[in-house]
Amino acid sequence: MSSQHLKNMLLSLQQFQDSKISITINDHNNEALFTVSLSESLFQVTNINNHKTETSDNVDTVVEYIENNIFTN
């Protein structure tokens, strides 16, 4: 998935922040790596493998976090 595609999905979450929507990001083998949701204007990114959750209010920071950690799973 390209950075721009991921960014567009995150921006879509912001548009529907009154709804409970979660995005699951999978690897090439269709194994879940991360879930991303939005709560109180904060993105919550959870690493499925270690259950560690990071939060940020910035789309670019979330994209960077996912890209930097996607190959370490």
Residue 33 maps to which CATH number? 3.30.720
Query: How much is the pLDDT for 20?
Result: 86
Query: What sign results for the dihedral spanned by CA atoms 13, 25, 22, 52?
Result: negative
| Better-predicted residue by pLDDT, 72 or 67 | 67
Q: Total structural domains in the chain?
A: 1
Q: Give me the mean pLDDT over the 21-35 stretch.
A: 92
pLDDT band at 38 (very low <50, low <70, confident <90, very high): very high
User: Per DSSP, which regions of the chain are E strands?
Assistant: 22-26, 32-39, 42-47, 53-56
Distances (CA, A) of 28 to 22, 38, 49, 55: 19, 25, 16, 25
Q: Which domain holds residue 35?
A: 3-72
- The two tokens of residue 15 are 């548009």
Residue 42 Cα to chain centre, angstroms: 11
Reported pTM: 0.83
Q: Give me the mean pLDDT over the 40-47 stretch.
A: 93
